[in-house]
Structure formats: structure tokens, C-alpha cells
């Protein structure tokens, strides 16, 4: 009595894109996308209307941040709050409203504290490496001599 338990193999469709790839496509400027990536992104956005709405909001926010148009933030917040099908976007808008003046200033001014934050991050890393190994004088010397 010979019975086969295997069925005929089913055809395998194309692999869906990873979440990392879709995130990269969404956060890349549309003009900078390669043709195949653009086609795949259009397919993903056609499949999910919520993702399409989120993409439009993210791109509008990115445009506002890169071109320093902080004055558009209140309108963007209202637009995000109006999209009731995306509760996380509405929460994000709510948290922006907590300190809207600071966010508008950050999106409007060409200055930032990136260099200072980089130095603080480097010093914290050195401090973690030296934790419980040496005293303050050795840590001070290492911070001053490290590049």
C-alpha cells in the first residue's frame, strides 16, 4: 500500500518587499527612486490606502523640514489630526502641539545643535567605556586627547 502524502507543488509568487525596503522607498524623495523601486512602491501604496495617506503626510513634513517652512506646521498638524484612520499620526500631531513654538522655530531656522550633540554623544561613549576603571583625571585626559 503505497500512498504519497505530497501534493503537487503550488506556484510561488513574487516575494513581498520587506518592511525595511518599503520604509526606504517611502522616505526617499520620489525623484531619487530607481524605476523598479518606484513601480514596487506604487504597487504597495495601491494595496494599502492607509499607507498612501501616511506617505503623503510624511513627504509633506519632509518637504517642510528640508525647505525650512516651519510656518506651514499648524496646517500640517490639522491635516494630520483630520486623518482619523491613522491614530498614530493623530497622536504624533498631538505631541507636536505640546511645544509648537519650539518645533516651528526648529523647522524655520537654519541653525541646529548637531555638532554639540555629536560631542556630547562621544563623551558619553568614552565615559561608558571607562566606567569603574579609572578616576576623573584619567577620564579627563582621555576626553581631551580623543579625536
46-61: per-residue pLDDT in tens?
988 889 889 999 999 9
**59-107 pLDDT, tens digit each:** 999 999 899 999 999 999 999 998 888 899 999 999 999 999 999 999 9
pLDDT exceeds 70 at position 4: no
Asked whether residue 140 is assigned to any structural domain, the reply reads yes
* Total domains present in the chain: 1
Asked whether residue 4 is assigned to any structural domain, the reply reads no
Asked whether residue 100 is assigned to any structural domain, the reply reads no
Asked whether residue 68 is assigned to any structural domain, the reply reads no
Instruction: Give me the domain span that covers residue 120.
Output: 114-145
Asked whether residue 131 is assigned to any structural domain, the reply reads yes
d(CA 12, CA 107): 47
Task: Count Cβ atoms below 10 Å from residue 113 Cβ, excluding itself.
Answer: 9
Asked whether residue 76 is assigned to any structural domain, the reply reads no
Asked whether residue 139 is assigned to any structural domain, the reply reads yes
Looking at the chain, list the stretches that DSSP marks H as alpha helix, in order from N- to C-terminal side: 19-27, 35-47, 49-66, 73-82, 87-98, 100-108, 114-130, 136-145
What pTM did the predictor assign? 0.67
Q: What is the mean pLDDT of the chain?
A: 88
Asked whether residue 129 is assigned to any structural domain, the reply reads yes
Q: Grid coordinates representing 89?
A: 499620526
Amino acid at each position: 500500500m503505497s500512498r504519497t502524502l505530497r501534493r503537487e507543488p503550488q506556484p510561488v509568487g513574487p516575494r513581498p518587499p520587506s518592511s525595511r525596503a518599503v520604509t526606504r522607498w517611502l522616505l526617499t524623495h520620489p525623484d531619487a527612486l530607481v524605476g523598479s523601486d518606484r513601480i514596487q512602491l506604487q504597487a504597495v501604496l495601491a494595496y494599502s490606502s492607509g499607507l498612501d495617506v501616511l506617505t503623503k503626510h510624511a513627504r509633506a513634513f519632509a518637504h517642510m523640514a528640508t525647505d525650512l517652512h516651519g510656518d506651514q506646521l499648524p496646517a500640517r498638524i490639522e491635516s494630520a489630526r483630520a486623518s482619523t484612520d491613522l491614530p498614530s499620526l493623530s497622536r504624533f500631531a498631538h505631541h507636536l502641539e505640546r511645544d509648537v513654538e519650539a518645533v516651528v522655530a526648529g523647522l524655520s531656522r537654519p541653525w541646529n545643535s548637531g555638532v554639540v550633540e555629536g560631542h556630547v554623544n562621544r563623551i558619553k561613549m568614552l565615559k561608558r567605556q571607562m566606567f569603574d576603571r579609572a578616576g576623573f583625571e584619567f577620564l579627563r585626559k582621555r576626553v581631551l586627547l580623543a579625536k
